[in-house]
Amino acid sequence: MASNSHSLSGRQQPDLLRSEDARLLRGQGGFVANQAVPGLAHAVFVRSPYAHARISEVQLLDAQAQPGVLAVLGPADFAGLQQPRVNGLLPGMHLPQAELVPTDRVLAVGAPVALVLAETLHEAQAAAELVWIDYQDLSPTADFATGADALYAAVPGNRALHSEVKVGALPPGACTAEAAVELPRVAASPLEPRAALMQWNEAQQSLKAHLSTQTPSRAREDIALALGLSPEQVQVIATDVGGAFGGKASVFAEDLMLALAARRVQRPLRWLASRGEDLLAGTHGRASRLQGRLWVDPQGQMQALDAQLQFALGHWLPFSAAAPLRNTCRILPGPYRMDNWQVQGEGRLSHAAAVGIYRGAGRPEACILMERLVDAAAHERGIDPLALRLANVWSAAELPRRLASEVWLDRCDLPALLQRAACLFDYEARRAAQQASRSKPDDEFLTGIGIGLYVEPCGQGGESARLTALADGRYLLATGATAQGQGRETAYALILAQALGCPTHHIEVRHGDTALCPPGIGALASRSTAIGGSAVLKAAQALQQRLQDGAALPCTVELFHQTAEEAWASGCVMVEMKIERATGISKLTELVWVDDAGVLVSPEMVHGQLIGGLAQGLGQALMERLVYDDNGQLLTGSLMDYALPRAEDMPTVTLESLPTRSAANELGAKGVGEAGCIGLPAALLNAAHDALRPLGVQQLDFPLSAANLWRAMRQVGAV
């Protein structure tokens, strides 16, 4: 695996193994399951077996009478709790408030209906089997259904979200190329499923919540709102979080139900989701249908784009439910220069698990549709796909700039990314070898080459930082940003060490505890270094100024740094895929990736983030898919049915950094955590189309599994 990276300072980076990492390696992690609390009781949720049904009767007494049971709470016990807040990212976004636990109906398989609390987990599980609920089955509304449902009458046309971007006008003539692709639901699948531990303090009228969350401050506010408390009465702690990928960005019904129950029984309560519970009732990702038309003139200049987007939303809206739709709409047409584009998107509710942000959140969708259209247009015009891209991307001299859609596009060098990737990939030689192989009709393998060029916005807004110079020469940083294993503590210590001129072991970094850290946004949208790191740098500069002005030790500065513009990362992925004619089994014989994440604070950690994202992008593209049947039952409810990539599935990767300093922040940093999920699926889809096009295959959807590729070939009579 090749790599070429540049660090923030150019010096050797000391102390990369921070004390936090060492603690985890010693088995002293602070996950929710590790918390030892006196008097701890256990919680088990009773979940709906129906996708859509009326509740006519609930009987809890048999469960309540079981040994060790503290309480059994049904829908009526949670009356008055409302679903948590939703971020109104889209203009005119008005959503009706809904009950957290409806007393008269269920809206998805796996929705929590009752809660059993007991001294031991085994006792809670046994009692949960005795909760009896009488359901009257109703017809469920599937993803992408067009018919309105009476349950959502408050939302016109069953359409919960809508977004539209119009720049210029579409040409009157026929388009050059069309494309349609469906992205199925996928699961975040973090190492640690969702988890919560709630402790109510009756004397102080306060709640302490250990949560596996990527947004502690927001969780604190949502729990306080649900319980009628002030934020100061709630403490949220996210010590160690075993991955999140967007799936832990919102509070869930289970979190709020458990918080209310802890206050009622006045015992510490812990709930640890099983893997099956997360697959069934955690938020899903992607779930979109994308269609587009692209106009390219005979000289190879892109003229216009028309895109129609549909997103499935599920039965409730997490905080960032609108983010995938919004991001897809505002990113298109991606890295390409054109004067006219129209993008229309909508999200519809359905009787299924909620769909939220998932690593990339609209960025992969924009890249997949745009790159599929570019390859299709190149084929129609008889132009090499690489040449068509080079002729239409923004040049380095033209960036940064504000587009006609009012989107600000950060500084980057797109031609250089394409050319460097082509060089490492040996593009011309591989195209020649591909043409030679196609002259052999009996060749058992079909070769395809795919390109995925992307730009990605990396989070907006600001982040908090509190920095203290201690009397012994050390520094204490408390940040509103959080971490789920990215090494955030190390990155922030490196930024401070360079700014303050001290070794990293003189810096302690605190995060994830609302009692010890200033209110902040958290970790999502690849924002933590570009925005959170910029806040850290500003705090260091402000502290230095105060010390120079004669402030006494210990001295503290606290700020919330707001960025004026949004950093955008970019990159190019090129792949060669060989597909076996007889079976549809595919193999990646070459994968080159050139990424621009701006100035790199820690190249080692950037490398890890890129490879991790690549693994998830590979999984989405080749194997992952959540499936519901016509009755709304989840058919892929365990890892026996839902395929995740393993180490042996990972191809050899040639990975190189080609950074361009961001114009959006003083660090010059851009996002990195989601990049692998963006370019690779698009490149793989293009490679599969390229391989199968000579057979007459015109339509492929994800996942590009052996079975799906074989069916596509069979439908055109090729096998």
pLDDT tens profile 95-111 = 767 899 999 999 999 99
Q: Are residues 589 and 698 both part of a single domain?
A: yes
Average pLDDT in the 223-229 region? 96
Q: Are residues 72 and 131 both part of a single domain?
A: yes
* Predicted local confidence at residue 619, as pLDDT: 97
pLDDT tens profile 258-268 = 999 999 999 99
CB 522 within 8 A of CB 480: yes
Q: What proportion of the chain, given as a percentage, has pLDDT over 70? A: 94
pLDDT tens profile 604-631 = 989 999 999 999 999 999 999 999 999 9
* Identity of the amino acid at 397: A
What domain range is 658 assigned to?
Answer: 363-458+567-715
Average pLDDT in the 165-184 region? 96
Average pLDDT in the 687-716 region? 96
With helix as H, strand as E and coil as C, how does 246-284 read?
CCCCCCCHHHHHHHHHHHHHCCCEEEECCHHHHHHHCCE
Which of residues 382 and 441 earns the better pLDDT score?
A: 382
* Predicted local confidence at residue 24, as pLDDT: 55
CB 660 within 8 A of CB 595: no
2 occurs within a structural domain = no
**pLDDT at 159 exceeding the cut of 70:** no
**pLDDT at 575 exceeding the cut of 80:** yes
Ramachandran angles phi, psi of 237, nearest 5°:
-125, 125
Q: Which two tokens stand for residue 85?
A: 């807040």
Q: What is the pTM of this model?
A: 0.93
Residue 57's CATH number: 3.90.1170.50
Contacts of 113 (CB under 8 A, 6+ apart): 45, 46, 47, 48, 55, 58, 74, 75, 101, 106, 133
646 occurs within a structural domain = yes
Q: Are residues 104 and 207 both part of a single domain?
A: yes
599 occurs within a structural domain = yes
**pLDDT at 153 exceeding the cut of 50:** no
Sign of the alpha-carbon torsion through 398, 402, 403, 404? negative
* Identity of the amino acid at 289: R
Q: Are residues 380 and 409 both part of a single domain?
A: yes
* Predicted local confidence at residue 147, as pLDDT: 56
3-state secondary structure of 667: coil
Ramachandran angles phi, psi of 528, nearest 5°:
-70, -40
Q: Which of 23-32, 166-175, 536-545, 601-610 has the lowest mean pLDDT?
A: 23-32
Q: Are residues 702 and 608 both part of a single domain?
A: yes
pLDDT tens profile 625-676 = 999 999 999 999 999 999 999 999 999 999 999 999 999 999 999 999 899 9
Q: At what angle do helices 534-548 and 488-500 cross, to 10 degrees?
A: 30
Q: Are residues 496 and 637 both part of a single domain?
A: no
Q: At what angle do helices 427-438 and 414-425 cross, to 10 degrees?
A: 60
Which of residues 120 and 602 earns the better pLDDT score?
A: 120
**pLDDT at 151 exceeding the cut of 50:** no
Q: Which residues pair with 115 in a beta bridge?
A: 45, 73
CA angle, corner 705, sides to 700 and 707, nearest 5?
A: 90
432 occurs within a structural domain = yes
45 occurs within a structural domain = yes
What DSSP line would sit under 482-535, residue for residue?
A: --SSS-HHHHHHHHHHHHHTS-GGGEEEE-SBTTTS-----S-TT-IIIIIIHH
Of 259, 281, 303, which residue is a domain's last? 281
CA dist., res. 579 & res. 444, Å (int) = 8
The domain tally of the chain equals: 3
pLDDT tens profile 302-343 = 999 999 999 999 999 999 999 999 999 999 999 999 999 999
Q: Are residues 229 and 266 both part of a single domain?
A: yes
* Predicted local confidence at residue 486, as pLDDT: 81
* Predicted local confidence at residue 96, as pLDDT: 67
* Predicted local confidence at residue 526, as pLDDT: 81
Of 496, 528, 562, which residue is a domain's last? 562
* Predicted local confidence at residue 576, as pLDDT: 98
Q: Are residues 447 and 473 both part of a single domain?
A: no
Q: Which residues pair with 467 in a beta bridge?
A: 477, 557
CA angle, corner 708, sides to 707 and 714, nearest 5?
A: 90
Of 530, 562, 594, which residue is a domain's last? 562
Q: Are residues 516 and 614 both part of a single domain?
A: no
Q: Which two tokens stand for residue 350?
A: 């359905």
Q: Are residues 104 and 203 both part of a single domain?
A: yes
CA dist., res. 402 & res. 400, Å (int) = 7
* Predicted local confidence at residue 516, as pLDDT: 95
CA dist., res. 396 & res. 398, Å (int) = 5
* Predicted local confidence at residue 443, as pLDDT: 85
**pLDDT at 141 exceeding the cut of 60:** yes
577 occurs within a structural domain = yes
* Predicted local confidence at residue 15, as pLDDT: 44
> Whose structure tokens read 């902040």?
520
CA dist., res. 601 & res. 661, Å (int) = 12
**pLDDT band for position 9 (50/70/90)?**
very low
Tell how far CA 59 is from the center of its chain. Answer: 39
* Predicted local confidence at residue 483, as pLDDT: 83
* Predicted local confidence at residue 25, as pLDDT: 64
Residue 390's CATH number: 3.30.365.10
324 occurs within a structural domain = no
**pLDDT band for position 408 (50/70/90)?**
very high
* Predicted local confidence at residue 708, as pLDDT: 97
167 occurs within a structural domain = no
Q: Are residues 691 and 585 both part of a single domain?
A: yes
* Predicted local confidence at residue 1, as pLDDT: 39
**Going by DSSP bridges, is the β-strand pair 195-201/408-409 parallel, antiparallel, or unpaired?**
unpaired
Average pLDDT, rounded, for the chain: 92
**pLDDT band for position 439 (50/70/90)?**
confident
Q: Are residues 126 and 252 both part of a single domain?
A: yes
Q: Which of 23-37, 46-60, 611-625 has the lowest mean pLDDT?
A: 23-37
